[in-house]
Amino acid sequence: MPKLSKMILRRLLWVIPVAWGVVTITFFLARVFNGDPVDLYSPPEATDELRAQIRERMGLSDPLPVQYVRYISDILRFDFGNSFTTGQAVAADLWARLPATLELSLVGLILGVVFGIPLGVLAAVYRERWPDFLVRGLSLGGMALPQFWIGLVLILVFFVLLHWLPGPIGRLPIGVVAPPRVTGFLLIDTLLAGDTEKWWQTVRHLTLPAITLGLTTLAPIARLMRSSMVEAMQSDYIRTAVAMGHSKRVVWFRYGLRNALLPVVTLLGGIIGHIFGGAALLESIFGWPGLGQYALQSIDQSDFAALQGFVIYASLLYVVAFLTVDLVYMLIDPRMRT
């Protein structure tokens, strides 16, 4: 087996103990530091007998090691329990809301990467000139301003004042039936159904939340890209490439950008974990029926099982995101393979 394949396999095997650690910590934090879960499912006037029945039904009367083994067994079967708010299985709730979060996150991430990296390169190339000042101001504002505030301003401008885009009512207008679910992505399902009108409605409803997410994603990418590119442009291999007569485009993109991307790849791991986990306030502001809104509702309703399932999902998502970053590092940087 090639050396690179062995290293990739070793990284994949490390996911198992990390995932086990995340699940274990979630179990003990929820049960040891979150008070008595029976209080969430029983009315204030409940008698001791009723509370005992609820405890028995929830499996909390067993010793903690027994609960832990049963909990791990349920997790392996993707059984996170039933949501107190919806009355459905938490796994089913997460699966139903996952496409909405993924669709918004993918579009926002694409906007952030497509515009953030070129802006960072532009700022580095024109260092201490007006393009640099403009990009630095944009990135500083995007990092300093809260995401929910940017979303509210966009709603005020484009919905309330200009009436160009729809309000924060979700993925489709009220009363419009969603197309048959194939992928869960409305941008794709509407095209598969041949309904161009609903596709355009989906684009319009997706525009404001995607721009909000894209702006807050663009800011750190552009800022780190600029600093990394400035450092790369001062390196010896860049001066050598210039002395050899290579064009500016070759120097910037073939030599400078390729080496400056490495820190940005690391940053993308954290960004992907954050936005794909569901931006709770953003989804709540725009009425977006994704995982972030589900988590916020779970906190508001003290829905123990739903919140626990979301935490496990988000934690494992971070593990997968940073594992992917490690693998990408190995592919683009030969030094990592040693």
Instruction: Give the pLDDT confidence score for residue 1 in this predicted structure.
Output: 47
Instruction: Give the pLDDT confidence score for residue 199 in this predicted structure.
Output: 93
Indicate if 64 and 158 belong to the same structural domain. no
Q: How many domains does the chain have?
A: 2
Indicate if 331 and 277 belong to the same structural domain. yes
Closest C-alpha among 107, 280, 98 to residue 208? 107
The tokens describing 104, both together, are 């918004």
Instruction: Give the pLDDT confidence score for residue 111 in this predicted structure.
Output: 92
The tokens describing 77, both together, are 């079967």
The answer to whether position 58 is within a domain reads: yes
Q: What is the pTM (predicted TM-score) of this model?
A: 0.81
CA atoms within 13 A on the CB side of 138: 23
The answer to whether position 82 is within a domain reads: no
Domain, as residue range, for 201: 95-337
Indicate if 21 and 160 belong to the same structural domain. no
Task: Output the domain CATH number for residue 271.
Answer: 1.10.3720.10
Instruction: Give the pLDDT confidence score for residue 211 in this predicted structure.
Output: 93
Mean pLDDT by 10 residues, the chain (338 residues): 67 77 78 64 74 74 81 82 81 88 90 90 86 88 85 92 89 87 90 91 93 90 88 79 76 75 81 73 86 81 76 79 76 65
Question: Which domain-ending residue is among 76, 109, 140?
Answer: 76
Pairwise CA distance, residues 325 & 307, whole Å: 27
Question: Which domain-ending residue is among 25, 44, 76?
Answer: 76
Indicate if 282 and 154 belong to the same structural domain. yes
Instruction: Give the pLDDT confidence score for residue 229 in this predicted structure.
Output: 85
Indicate if 187 and 155 belong to the same structural domain. yes
Indicate if 61 and 118 belong to the same structural domain. no
Pairwise CA distance, residues 37 & 211, whole Å: 39
Indicate if 104 and 11 belong to the same structural domain. no
Instruction: Give the pLDDT confidence score for residue 156 in this predicted structure.
Output: 93
Indicate if 69 and 12 belong to the same structural domain. yes
